[in-house]
Structure 1
Amino acid sequence: MNTQKIQFQQIRDFGQVFNAGFAFMRGHFFRIFRYLLSIGGPFLLVGVGVTALLMIRMQSWSTSVNTGGGVLPFAWTDFGITYLVNLLSFFVGFVMITAVINAYIKLYIESPEVTPNIQLGDVWSQVRKDFFRLAGQLLLVSVFVFGVNILFFVSVGAIGESTISAGAVLLVFFIGFGLFIFLMPYLGGVLTPQIYFGQTNFFKNISRTFSLVQDNWWMTLGLGFVNTIIMSTVFFICFFPFYLIMMISIVSQISSNPGQTPDFSSMTVVIVSMIVFMTLGYMATFIIHNVMAAVHYFNLEERKGGGGLLAKIQSIGSGENSLKSSIDFYDEEEKY
């Protein structure tokens, strides 16, 4: 673990954001991951179990229809309830993951120690304080994104059904894609840490996010792009082995029984294992995403206001012996 404390509240360029993020994860990744399993894991396990149940039921439904049984293996109300439980458990798990990672970072920043020893109880206490505020605002973001997507696809469908040329459909598609790219640095890069660390209402958080990003849009987009590549690589490593096993099993069944639907029930263990490892990969990628987002968020905050630098100056002026724990981390970052 590093002997010098990483200063989140510091102006950094493109490369230094990644250096600081990886330096922090070098010393804290596995501890954060353990805390995620302890706090957010149970909710994600419910989601994994319900997802596996849905897949098995859908396979039974498909088999029943193909064999001409004509009777659904479950009622639509049961399916709807199961699906809602699935969505709810994954949403709560997502909020828990976000809260745990950012709570850990918050406690790390606020600790006066050079190497903070942050315990599970400390993180859980902080998560309890922040959960409902974070969940409410992330739910509003999710509803907004869902609504924009629905509006976009309805518009494309309506234009496609009309007598308007295919060029108009393409134009609407590119406008939608351009809007997606434009909003990504705001919604995907800075909004979540702003919601967590900003400690204010939803609309002020939206306004502050746009204020922070507007002069650093290209940098935020570039960081998000590189971060996505890193996250996708980690997720692929967790997902690919089980996907390969499942594909080999499907091809083997098709070769042995031509013309018949593959029996997924025989691959239940593989499917459940794949979902579990995908969930673990999901948690790992979210640590990467949230740490990088937090480093960049405080970088943007410093560019706007310089609160971290002001705090250091006040600390030195008051004669506090905290200079050692506030060592500029630029030189240390160059090692990574």
Structure 2
Amino acid sequence: MNTQKIQFQQIRDFGQVFNAGFAFMRGHFFRIFRYLLSIGGPFLLVGVGVTALLMIRMQSWTTSVSKGSVLPFAWTDFGITYLVNLLSFFVGFVMITAVINAYIKLYIESPEVNPDIQLGEVWSQVKKDFFRLAGQLLLVSVFIFGLIILFFVILELIGLELLVFFIGFGLFIFLMPYLVGVLTPQIYFGQTNFFKNISHTFSLVQGNWWMTLGLGFVNSIIMNTVFFICFFPFYLIMIISMVSQMSSNPGQTPDFSSMTVVIVAMIVFMTLGYMATFIIHNVMAAVHYFNLEERKGGGGLLTKIQSIGSGDNSLKSPVDFYDEEEKY
């Protein structure tokens, strides 16, 4: 149990961002995870079920083709199922983002050192923020996707195909820090419209480009490692099964229909891993976002100064909490 409250609104260097993030997750990770299962879990389970159904149907169709007895493939049903899949995962993604950031918001606003944040409080906050967050995240996705497509089309039209990969990769590297490290918490905590969020994000990152890029890169490594740990056992089982079938039936397409349970279990564990990695991502992103806000405006320090003599003990502690965070 932390004896001092983790202060999000504080200037930190590269290592201190991770120290603060892990210190916060040490005390709150499993509670946030439970709340994710309760609030976002049902939507993700729909996505998991639909994904499993798609994989089973595709496998049945592929197997029938390899055996020469082609079953009719209903593109209409496939399209509807795929759209339901996309919608359920998008809603689940918005729910995950809303739950984690709502928990952080309630933690920051609580005067207690170790606030006992309840599921009902988080759910009430999520209901307030859901549609605003969903709309802006959808706009961000469309905006970024449109920019990338437009860029590639222009490159093709002017005949610079050889540069497509390199410029596309550079564009990704350029946008990643803004999206991964700053934009999502800005959308949630900024409480403003889409275009102001985009503008403010660029303003925050200006002068802190390499720090944001480095944090995004290290954060991605941590997230991918956690995801790989959840995925690898099932991937290994699938590979062993495929090699075994190819050895016993040379020239035949591997049939995974007998491994439906394994496939479903793999998707479930991947989804749980996805949720765990997003807790890591959103917490680190929030810590860095408030770090950048403090560097630009110092709102957190101003709040502490204004609170002197107000009797709010949670704000009387020193600005720096590195000694506490370094324990983790």
Q: Is the 8 A contact 1:134 1:196 kept in 2?
A: yes
Q: Is the 8 A contact 1:212 1:301 kept in 2?
A: yes
Q: Is the 8 A contact 1:60 1:73 kept in 2?
A: no
Q: CA deviation at 1:321?
A: 4.0
Q: 1:153 to 1:269 in 2, by over 3 A?
A: farther
Q: CA deviation at 1:178?
A: 1.3
Q: 1:59 to 1:319 in 2, by over 3 A?
A: closer
Q: Per-residue CA shift, 1:232-278, capped at 9, x if unaligned? A: 11001000001001110111111111111111111111111111100
Aligned to 1:306: 298
Q: Is the 8 A contact 2:227 2:277 kept in 1?
A: yes
Q: 1:248 to 1:105 in 2, by over 3 A?
A: same
Q: Is the 8 A contact 1:99 1:131 kept in 2?
A: yes
Q: Per-residue CA shift, 1:59-93, capped at 9, x if unaligned? A: 122123233x5754442111100000000000000
Q: Is the 8 A contact 1:39 1:124 kept in 2?
A: yes
Q: 1:156 to 1:48 in 2, by over 3 A?
A: farther
Q: Is the 8 A contact 1:7 1:326 kept in 2?
A: no
Partners of 1:320 and 1:159 in 2: how far apart?
A: 62
Q: CA deviation at 1:188?
A: 1.9
Which is worse superposed, 170-179 or 221-230?
Answer: 170-179
Q: CA deviation at 1:183?
A: 1.2
Q: Which runs of 5+ in 2 are unaligned?
A: none
Q: 1:158 to 1:62 in 2, by over 3 A?
A: farther
Partners of 2:41 and 2:317 in 1: how far apart?
A: 33
Q: 1:307 to 1:230 in 2, by over 3 A?
A: same
Aligned to 1:48: 48
Q: Per-residue CA shift, 1:184-211, capped at 9, x if unaligned? A: 1112210000000000000000000000
- 1:97 matched to 2:91? The reply is no
Q: CA deviation at 1:177?
A: 1.4
Q: CA deviation at 1:140?
A: 0.5
Partners of 1:302 and 1:121 in 2: how far apart?
A: 30
1:246 aligns with one of 227, 238, 253? 238
Q: Is the 8 A contact 2:152 2:164 kept in 1?
A: no
Q: Per-residue CA shift, 1:106-161, capped at 9, x if unaligned? A: 0000001111000000000000000000000000111122223433555566678x
Q: Is the 8 A contact 2:5 2:314 kept in 1?
A: no
Q: Is the 8 A contact 1:312 1:326 kept in 2?
A: no
Which is worse superposed, 322-331 or 5-14?
Answer: 322-331
Q: Which runs of 5+ in 1 are unaligned?
A: 161-169
Aligned to 1:28: 28
Partners of 2:184 and 2:225 in 1: how far apart?
A: 22
Q: 1:216 to 1:318 in 2, by over 3 A?
A: same
- 1:280 matched to 2:272? The reply is yes
Q: 1:126 to 1:323 in 2, by over 3 A?
A: closer
Partners of 1:282 and 1:320 in 2: how far apart?
A: 38
Q: Is the 8 A contact 2:152 2:168 kept in 1?
A: no
Identity of matched residues, %: 91
TM-score normalised by L of structure 2 = 0.95
Partners of 1:84 and 1:34 in 2: how far apart?
A: 28
Q: 1:74 to 1:2 in 2, by over 3 A?
A: same
Q: 1:204 to 1:36 in 2, by over 3 A?
A: same
- 1:175 matched to 2:163? The reply is no
Q: Is the 8 A contact 2:301 2:319 kept in 1?
A: no
Q: Is the 8 A contact 1:156 1:173 kept in 2?
A: no
Q: 1:124 to 1:319 in 2, by over 3 A?
A: closer
Q: Is the 8 A contact 1:64 1:73 kept in 2?
A: no
Q: 1:49 to 1:209 in 2, by over 3 A?
A: same
Q: 1:73 to 1:38 in 2, by over 3 A?
A: farther
Partners of 2:108 and 2:114 in 1: how far apart?
A: 11
Q: 1:219 to 1:128 in 2, by over 3 A?
A: same
* SS of residue in 2 equivalent to 1:325: coil
Q: CA deviation at 1:320?
A: 4.2
Q: 1:51 to 1:158 in 2, by over 3 A?
A: farther
Which is worse superposed, 11-20 or 145-154?
Answer: 145-154
Q: 1:255 to 1:321 in 2, by over 3 A?
A: closer
Q: Is the 8 A contact 2:111 2:313 kept in 1?
A: no
Q: Is the 8 A contact 2:178 2:202 kept in 1?
A: yes
TM-score normalised by L of structure 1 = 0.93
| Aligned-residue RMSD, C-alpha | 1.7
Partners of 2:226 and 2:298 in 1: how far apart?
A: 34
Q: CA deviation at 1:325?
A: 6.0
Aligned to 1:166: none
Partners of 2:51 and 2:156 in 1: how far apart?
A: 30
Q: CA deviation at 1:171?
A: 2.0
